[in-house]
Amino acid sequence: MSDTPTLPEGLRRFVERRNAAPPQERCELCGVAIAHEHSHLVERENRRLVCACRPCYLVFMPRGAGQGRFRCVPDRYLHDAAFDMTPAQWDDLQIPVAMAFFFFNSDLGRSVAFYPGPAGATESLLPLDSWETMREANPLFKSIEDDVEALLVRREGDTFECYLVPIDACYELVGLVRLHWKGFDGGEEAKTAIAGFFGGLRERSRPVPVNETTS
């Protein structure tokens, strides 16, 4: 006779569900199983990220495919060591936290800025003069692919670091902040998660090529 105690049926099913492997991720277009690391599309109408297998991703690679409903999110990561901004210019952008991402929304026909917080991604209305000053000082802004790439800027004291990243990386950061944020200033858990995220960016990003900042 086994010495293992018998769990009540309801509790047994609960434990089995907790111990079960996570559900298999699937392509949201064709339903095939995909790996945890996979490609994304942006559904332009509602700004939704769509998980995609590689064949479905390639279908929408040519610009205008599928009547432009979806845009492929690229995998370009660049670090702009020459990013030029002052604390006063950051304050002029009226972003209340130390991180923000900027991208061009083709449906709106304008650049937009969002910053992560405990409630998700919040849009910041960009003062036109301040925005144009920052764009002119940082030519990398001109190379961003509409809808699917962003400039992610982080402030630490009076210094700034800037990356050109796929838009899904920005939403990954938003998810980390939402998951770990505690209290008024986020707490140590959130700060550790954010530091780890930017550490990963530094490792995978290559320096901005000269032609990307002068074109």
Using one digit for the tens of pLDDT, what is the confidence trace for 110-135? Answer: 888 899 988 889 888 877 677 778 88
Write out the residue range of the structural domain in which residue 63 sits.
Answer: 7-72
CB atoms within 10 A of CB 128: 10
Is 94 among the domain residues? yes
Whether the per-residue pLDDT at 169 is higher than 60: the answer is yes
pLDDT digits (tens, 9 = 90+) for 69-110: 899 999 999 999 989 888 988 888 888 889 999 998 888 888
Residues 62 and 114 in one domain: no
Mean pLDDT of all residues in the chain? 84
Is 19 among the domain residues? yes
Residues 53 and 26 in one domain: yes
Whether the per-residue pLDDT at 212 is higher than 80: the answer is no
Is 2 among the domain residues? no
Predicted TM-score (pTM) of the model is 0.81
Is 179 among the domain residues? yes
Residues 142 and 67 in one domain: no
Residues 131 and 184 in one domain: yes
- Band of pLDDT at residue 15, cut at 50, 70 and 90: very low
CB 126 within 8 A of CB 141: no
Q: Give residue 4's pLDDT.
A: 46
Last residue of a domain, one of 16, 41, 72: 72
Q: Whats the size of the chain, residue-wise?
A: 215
- Tell me the C-alpha distance between 159 and 154, whole Å: 9
CB 122 within 8 A of CB 191: no
Q: How many domains does one find in the chain? A: 2
- Tell me the C-alpha distance between 173 and 194, whole Å: 7
Specify the amino acid at residue 153. Answer: V
Tokens 């200033």, residue located: 185
